[in-house]
């Protein structure tokens, strides 16, 4: 066990933002050869939100961050670190965390992005815990924001129906009121990274005037990703429970990454958590990658499903591959 596990880590404020524009499955029927029936039965998704023209991942994150700060009863000027999870940054440089910081009127905080794809928020909890363990006076703003619809190939029906845009945010400190981060564990396997990619990085030597290739967009071997997602989300959840001497009976609510209802049901089955204790909102938002878990937390609180006193298990899986689980006691 690391020393940081002995230091209290409080997740004090939660906020989420989704853009106004909604794309339903019926809208997609007009764009690509698909049906509402296929998307609903194979994924559970009914609609997803899309950023407006000129609105970027940093804008969505700033909106979510304002709500998280208000929820925590804190001012932007109190923040010492802005750590931002995204696999769809506004730019390669400057990092999106700096843009979020500027939009919030924060100057002087440490600000950086990290990419753990859909596992971003849980990875971020782990990093925030390490920061407050090393620096107990730190006030960390964790944002998770995605502009996935900007990197979808609208001619590829196997991917373009799955994803949506959105952002979530939390404020994390060593002290104060808020959900206690009881444990968090993150893992990865880079050997499998090729099964889920978004290009546009420097490995593709684009020259000015070159046409954009399919590699620029989300590409995924859905069946393989599905199998690994179920296996790893269930296994790491079990591991986190066991090392804390807990069972799924001690979990009031499972909030899993919202990628596919069949994945969520399979993880719930493996863990033996009945569906009424599993939070699902992917029918409204689709897969928002890093934003999915904080968006679900904020949504579950707003809907009164997540209440004070509850122990919540978070479970994630994403490109990289990356995966993780965390226990939050509200």
SS3 161: coil
- Does an H or E element contain 219, and which? strand 218-220
95-124 mask for ligand UT7 (x: CB under 6 A)?
Answer: -----------------------x------
Phi and psi (nearest 5°) for 323?
Answer: -155, 165
List the one residue from 38, 135, 153, 301 that touches ligand UT7 (CB under 6 A).
Answer: 38
Catalytic residues: 118, 257, 287
The strand pair at 140-146 and 81-85 is best described as parallel
Nearer to ligand UT7, 97 or 148 (CB): 148
Q: Is 259 near ligand UT7 (CB under 6 A)?
A: yes
| CA pair distance 3, 7, nearest whole angstrom | 7
Residue 210, classified by CB atoms within 10 Å of its CB into exposed (0-12), middle (13-18) or buried (19+), is: exposed
Q: Does 197 bind ligand UT7 (CB under 6 A)?
A: no
Can residue 42 be called a binding residue for ligand UT7 (CB under 6 A)? yes
For position 158 contacting ligand UT7 by CB under 6 A, the verdict is: yes
3-state SS, residue 20: coil
Residue 279 or 330 having the CB closest to ligand UT7: 279
Taking the least distance from each CB to ligand UT7, the nearer of 36 and 78 is: 36
Nearer to ligand UT7, 125 or 148 (CB): 148
With residues binned 3-state (H G I as helix, E B as strand, rest as coil), the percentages for the chain, rounded to 5, are: 40, 25, 35
Which of 178, 294, 318, 320 lies at the binding interface for ligand UT7 (CB under 6 A)?
318
Positions 281 through 300 that interact with ligand UT7 (CB under 6 A): 287
Do residues 66 and 15 lie in contact, with contact meaning Cβ atoms separated by under 8 Å?
yes
**152 closest CA partner among 144, 163, 142:** 163
Q: Which residues bind ligand UT7 (CB under 6 A)?
A: 34, 38-39, 42-43, 118, 157-158, 161, 196, 222-223, 225-226, 229, 259-260, 263, 287, 317-318
């Amino acid at each position: 066990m690391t020393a940081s596990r002995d230091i209290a880590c409080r997740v004090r404020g939660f906020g989420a933002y989704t853009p106004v524009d909604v794309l339903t499955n019926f809208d997609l029927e007009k764009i690509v050869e698909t049906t509402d029936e296929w998307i609903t039965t194979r994924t559970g998704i009914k609609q997803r939100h899309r950023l407006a023209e000129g609105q970027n991942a940093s804008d969505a994150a700033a909106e979510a961050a304002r709500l998280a700060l208000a929820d925590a009863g804190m001012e932007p000027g109190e923040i010492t670190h802005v750590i931002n999870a995204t696999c769809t940054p506004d730019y390669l440089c400057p990092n999106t965390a700096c843009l979020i910081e500027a939009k919030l009127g924060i100057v002087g905080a440490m600000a950086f992005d990290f990419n753990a794809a859909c596992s971003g928020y849980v990875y971020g909890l782990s990093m925030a815990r390490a920061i407050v363990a090393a620096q107990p006076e730190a006030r960390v703003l964790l944002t998770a924001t995605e502009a996935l619809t900007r990197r979808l190939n609208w001619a590829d029906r196997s991917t373009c129906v799955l994803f949506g845009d959105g952002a979530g945010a939390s404020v994390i400190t060593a002290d104060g009121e808020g959900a206690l981060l009881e444990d968090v564990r993150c893992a990865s396997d880079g050997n499998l990274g090729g099964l889920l990619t978004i290009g546009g990085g420097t490995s593709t030597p684009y020259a000015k005037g070159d046409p954009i290739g399919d590699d620029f967009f989300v590409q995924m071997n859905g069946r393989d990703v599905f199998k690994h997602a179920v296996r790893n989300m269930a296994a790491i959840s079990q591991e986190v429970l066991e090392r804390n001497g807990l069972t799924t009976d001690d979990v009031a609510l499972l909030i899993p990454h919202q990628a596919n209802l069949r994945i969520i049901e399979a993880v719930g089955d493996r863990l033996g958590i009945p569906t009424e204790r599993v939070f699902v909102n992917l029918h409204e938002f689709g897969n928002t990658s890093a934003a999915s878990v904080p968006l679900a937390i904020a949504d579950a609180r707003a809907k009164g499903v997540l209440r004070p006193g509850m122990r919540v298990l978070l479970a994630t899986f994403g490109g990289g591959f990356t995966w993780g689980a965390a226990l939050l006691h509200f």
